[in-house]
Structure 1
Amino acid sequence: MTIGILKETQKGETRVAISPNIAKQLIEKDFKVIVEEDAGTTSSFKDSDYSKVGAQIEKRGVVFKDSDLLLKINPFDQEDLKLVDKRHILMSQLFHKSNPELMKAIAATGATAFSLDAMPRISRAQDMDVLSSQSNLAGYKAVIRGAYEMTKIFPLMMTAAGTITPARVLVYGVGVAGLQAIATAKRLGAIVEATDIRPETKEQTESLGAKFIEVEGNGDEEASVYAKVASEEYMKKQKEAVNKSLFQADLVITTAMVPGRKSPVLITKEQVGQMKNGAVIIDLAAAQGGNCALSKMNKIVVKNGVKIIGTTISPESVSTNASELFGKNMYNFIMHLTENAAFKWDLEEEITDATLIIQNGTIRKNGVTT
């Protein structure tokens, strides 16, 4: 089987789906690997790095023409699909639940497609979960970006000129990104508090040395690794419980997302108006509408002296590490789906069933939701 590694075309994307090290591992498993020219350049991987491990470097059109399995990080777009036909197997984050038109367009080519963001939340799939590996880096980078944007330092510092009190950090959402944000902020010396709809995250928060802001009565609609869909009553209680910490915070990091849905608004315009002058909000959920009502994706909004940064910080800014982790997830997934460098097509197996969204031009029933 020939695997094609495509250069990402989405604006601002600097990662690559497979690093040279992972390309080497695939070749050792009897796959042929073709890499588009300059695919890894923005992740600090040169074409020669891929060539040294046995990968073939080609122009974009040749990668499509000569590959059986095509790998990307972001969804295949309309320009990609002009070069896709029924023999191709596509693998990327498709965000199929919120992209029904794209799913129809892929199906029209007759191709087969796996969606990496559809990976089931089970222990067997942890080493294939790109959302977790990338969120881990996002949580770290959110704190670093916040530190850069703040006008204060994180740690307690005693000097001859006086004592500098530590910064206060509040984290909304104790998932993968939130836990890494808590750990990073604590390492830098901040006083950290966190809140989450899931009471079981209290122990995780406290194990990292942060204070957990508990809210009585949680949402009961549906669970997720990253968030739950909470009732309006619960959201009101959460705002009341968190307000004191929010209004004292120097840095606020929000991470609450529900896959396939708009991000819940956790910080209202009115709450921003009562925050400290000079406070910074890093909203990691901005791509899905934002946890702060004033967030705008890839923009800095200043309101009443509060700086609101809407981003995914989806680890494009640490693209070398992000690509290495993403590639390892990809490798593990490919190994799971194949045997002797050929697909097994075990549709009864849970991971295959959950991630195979389109097969031979047919959208499977567990794919698109309307």
Structure 2
Amino acid sequence: MPVVVRVRAEHSPGEKRVAASPESVRKLAAAGASVEIESGAGSGALISDAAYRDAGAQIVEPGTPVGRGILFHVRPLLPAELGALPQGMVTIGVIDPFQNLGSVAAARDAGISAFALDLLPRISRAQSMDVLSSQALLAGYRLVTLAADAFGRMFGMTMTAAGTLAPARVLVLGAGVAGLQTIATAKRLGAVVSANDVRAASADEVRSVGGTFIDLDLGTADAAGGYAKELAEDRARRQQELLAPHVAASDIVITTAAVPGRAAPRLITAQMVAAMKPGSVLVDLAAESGGNIEGSVAGERRAVAVAGGLATLIGVRDIQSDLAPDASKLYGMNCANFAALIVKEGQLVLDFDDELVAGSAVTHDGRIVSDRVAAALQPVEDPA
């Protein structure tokens, strides 16, 4: 009997994405899997039950018991949801395990094999499964459109007989996938864009998409897999000091900096915000994980006092859901491509000799198999 892949309807408020598209359903069916989609799961992404059915999926009612097989999810599963799954179930999706240690423990205790696409090794083979990159790409675009809406002025320079309109000055902090897409989008709209990141490769990457790199002469802070690592306290404080004049000179500041497994680095203080011009806009992608900008709150847009007036501070939440049809298409194919590693001729085959399977596994057979996650959970469960 072929392995069953269940795609759940997401329950988190504001989440419109779904972990499958008609295209990904066809890919799963071609691999020999049987696909079940919970009714209405794609409504937020403008995908109808009929579209899934036409692609070969079976539509089931939400809450229908999940048989042993594979479960696709977008948001991390809650401990209670994991506890309700049958032993031996495989889950595939974003787990954010260091921020959801309770769910990790629940998956272990329930005998779930949980695979975190957000832990995939950053190698060439993983690119088609890289949910962090696919979703960050969309986030970068959306950050600019949010900023443009709040700014109330044109981005590009315009020369007319009645006068010249100066281009907006945009500062982007963090030049990963989201940051680079932010730079490129703002540049396409005509802004003058500068950026900073602590990774060694970031200067060339920023220039490649049309931005001007700001070298703070702080050295680099690279972690494994192409990520940034957290700066020591004295370097972080010096970073803020060196960024302050660039922030003050900007019309728009967009922050995208993140450190895996840790709270977002604080790049901009309230004092730095207060030195900006009236009408300035700040957008913080990292608001959900602690915020790059002091005072940002996920899901809130509010006015903040600056010299001579007000600026706008936007803390982002569920930004990919603003582009749910595109986000779901990419996310669904990321999941299907990973599933192709463990579904062979319609049967579930977990090959832990495959570095992608082993590198993304968090729990399996009643154990935590990720050393990093186990190390993070140990002091929580055994504080003594």
Distance, in Å, in 2 between the alignment partners of 1:188 and 1:84 is 48
**Contact 2:14–2:318 (Cα < 8 Å) also in 1:** no
2:63 alignment partner, SS class:
helix
Three-state SS of the structure 2 residue aligned to 1:60 is coil
Deviation at 1:226, TM superposition (A): 4.2
Q: Which amino acid aligns with 1:127?
A: S
Could you state the TM-score of these two structures normalised by the residue count of structure 1?
0.95
- Percent pairwise identity: 36
Structure 2 CA distance for aligned equivalents of residues 47 and 26 of structure 1: 17
Partner residue, 1:35: 37
Name the residue aligned to 2:197. 196
Do structure 1's residue 122 and structure 2's residue 123 form an aligned pair?
yes
Residue in 2 that maps onto 1:187? 188
CA contact (8 A) 2:281 2:312 kept: yes
| Aligned residue in 2 for 1:311 | 316
Counterpart secondary structure, 1:285? helix
Q: Could you tell me which residue of structure 2 aligns to residue 368 of structure 1?
A: 374
CA distance in 2 between counterparts of 1:226 and 1:153 reads 33
Residue 114 of structure 2 is aligned to residue 109 of structure 1: no
1:79 is displaced (CA, Å) by: 4.4
Cα 1:144–1:332, aligned 2, differ >3 Å: closer, same or farther?
Answer: same
Tell me, yes or no, if the aligned pair for 2:4 and 2:70 is still in contact at 8 Å: yes
Matched, 1:165 2:173: no
2:368–2:374 Cα contact (<8 Å) kept: yes
Rounded to whole Å, the distance in 2 between the matches of 1:223 and 1:256 is 16
Are the equivalent residues in 2 in contact too, given 1:47–1:57 (CA < 8 A)?
Answer: yes
Letter in 2 for 1:369: A
Residue 255 in 1 paired to residue 256 in 2? yes
Match of 1:350 in 2: 355
Q: How does 1:1-370 map to 2 (within 5 A)?
A: 1-62=3-64, 64-66=65-67, 68-220=69-221, 222-223=223-224, 225-304=226-305, 305-366=310-371, 367-370=373-376
Amino acid at match of 1:65: V
Distance 1:209-1:237 versus aligned 2 partners, 3 A rule: same
Partners of 2:115 and 2:362 within 8 A in 1: yes
Contact in 2 for aligned 1:265/1:293 (Cα 8 Å)? yes
Compared CA separation, residues 361 and 314, structure 1 to 2 (3 A): farther
Q: Deviation string for 1:203-246 (max 9, x for gaps)?
A: 11112221100021325574563422112333233333332221
Distance 1:258 1:4 in 2: 32
Aligned length: 369
Match of 1:169, SS? strand
Shift in alpha-carbon separation, 1:231–1:87, aligned structure 2, 3 A? closer
TM-score normalised by structure 2 residue count = 0.92
How far apart, in 1, do the equivalents of 2:98 and 2:209 lie?
34
Shift of 1:60: 2.0
Bigger shift: residues 262-271 or 229-238: 229-238
Residues 248-275 of structure 1, C-alpha deviations (whole Å, 9 max, x = no match): 2111110000111011100001101101
Q: CA deviation at 1:339?
A: 2.0
In structure 2, the residue corresponding to 1:4 is in which secondary structure? strand
Structure 2: gaps (5+ residues):
377-384
CA–CA distance in 1 between the matches of 2:258 and 2:45? 27
Corresponding letter in the other structure for 1:59? E
Match of 1:199, SS?
coil
Give yes or no for contact 1:173–1:226 (8 Å, CA) kept in 2.
no
2:381 match: none
**CA pair 276-138 structure 1, distance change in 2 beyond 3 A:** same
Q: Secondary structure at the match of 2:210?
A: coil
Deviation at 1:98, TM superposition (A): 2.3
Gaps of 5+ in 1: none
Aligned partner letter, 2:325: T
Paired residue secondary structure (1:369): helix
Q: Is contact 1:219-1:234 (8 Å) kept?
A: no
Native 8 Å contact 2:6 2:70 kept in 1: yes
- Could you tell which deviates more after superposition, 158-167 or 239-248? 239-248
Deviations 1:293-331 (A, max 9, x none): 111111123211121111145311000000011011111
Moved beyond 4 Å, runs of 4+ = none
Change over 3 Å in CA distance of 1:324–1:186 after alignment to 2 = same
- The 1-side partners of 2:32 and 2:353 are apart by 26
How far off its partner does 1:177 sit?
0.3
How many angstroms does 1:369 deviate by? 3.2
Structure 2 Cα separation of the partners of residues 231 and 66 of structure 1: 48
